[in-house]
Structure 1
Amino acid sequence: MKFPFSNIFRSHAKNIPGVVEKKLKQTFPKAKNIEWEPKEDQFEAIFYLNDVEHIAQFSKTGELIQYKKNLWPDELPEILKAEGSKFGEIMNGIVIYRGTDLFYEMIIRNEKLDRYEFLYNQNGGLISSAIL
């Protein structure tokens, strides 16, 4: 056995359908450092666009289901910053594009340093919250 550890360090192929890879390249032509994660009946691509992390979910047929983009707290819409600040310090945000709908996810830390995940619609309406 010439290279006994080669199988340990070798990345295993993810078997991403060509139609899914093609859709990612069409939708995000400047995506860099793409990593694929097969899910049950979907494929998730984690990549960088303009030095910002994105996560896109595709169906087996290549349909873009949704994608997420990391945001700095100051990039959030004012209404969401105001709503989120009621609960504590906004640590970070994520915008979620699902079809024509927009959602915002925020990680907020309260005065006891407990962290919570809040999900809002684009108008600042709270959809859900959970402790992390």
Structure 2
Amino acid sequence: MKHYLVLAAFALALAAPAQAQQLKATQVPAAVVAAFKQKFPQVKEVKWEKEGDKYEAGFEQGNVEMSALLSASGELLETESEMAPSQLPAAVRAKLASSYKSYKVTEAAKIVSASTGATTYEAEVLKSGKKMDLLFDANGQEVKK
């Protein structure tokens, strides 16, 4: 269940107006499946979603819930790895404690851009039943809500 929440948060963060659509592997373009298998050959179980014109593969690697976002041509765009909120960088935790002190951090993830190698950190926060996804760089600077 937690995996689906991470995928939903990922979908909202990347394509707010778009709705993620669950797909069977046979509905995913062959180039996308082939590129995924090349990058992650050890992964056996994959849950596919379509987000606008992109495809997201949800899977587990080791004991870590992950997802990979790929273009329709099979280009890997980014990966996301679930992490405990306590594993967020200290600067991100400090920013959350100061700017979002009345919020509870319910989930966290590390997002790495395949093209630039840039890393951002996602924190899902909850206040009065309202969830919000926040993105930060490693220095605790908010990059996107």
Shorter-chain TM-score: what band?
Answer: 0.7 to 0.9
Q: Please tell me whether the aligned partners of residues 25 and 48 of structure 2 are also in contact (alpha carbons under 8 angstroms).
A: no
Instruction: Determine which structure has the larger helix proportion and give its number.
Output: 2
TM-score, length basis structure 2: 0.68
Distance 1:24 1:13 in 2: 12
Distance 2:57 2:126 in 1: 28
Greater CA radius of gyration, 1 or 2? 1
Instruction: Determine which structure has the larger strand proportion and give its number.
Output: 1
TM-score, length basis structure 1: 0.74
Q: Which runs of 5+ in 2 are unaligned?
A: 1-22
Q: Please tell me whether the aligned partners of residues 109 and 115 of structure 1 are also in contact (alpha carbons under 8 angstroms).
A: yes
Distance 1:113 1:38 in 2: 27
AA aligned to 2:107 is N
Match of 1:118 in 2: 134
Distance 2:25 2:141 in 1: 41
* Paired residue total: 118
AA aligned to 1:25 is K
- The structure showing larger relative contact order (alpha-carbon pairs under 8 Å, at least 6 residues apart) is 2
Identity of aligned residues (%): 26
- Pairwise CA RMSD: 2.3
Distance 1:105 1:76 in 2: 9
- Hey, which bits of structure 1, 4+ residues long, moved more than 3 A? 11-14, 112-116
| 1:25-40 paired onto structure 2 within 5 Å | 25-40=37-52
| 1:1-132 paired onto structure 2 within 5 Å | 14-86=26-98, 87-88=100-101, 89-98=104-113, 99=115, 100-110=117-127, 114-129=130-145
- TM-aligned CA deviation for residue 115 of structure 1: 3.8
Q: Please tell me whether the aligned partners of residues 84 and 108 of structure 1 are also in contact (alpha carbons under 8 angstroms).
A: no
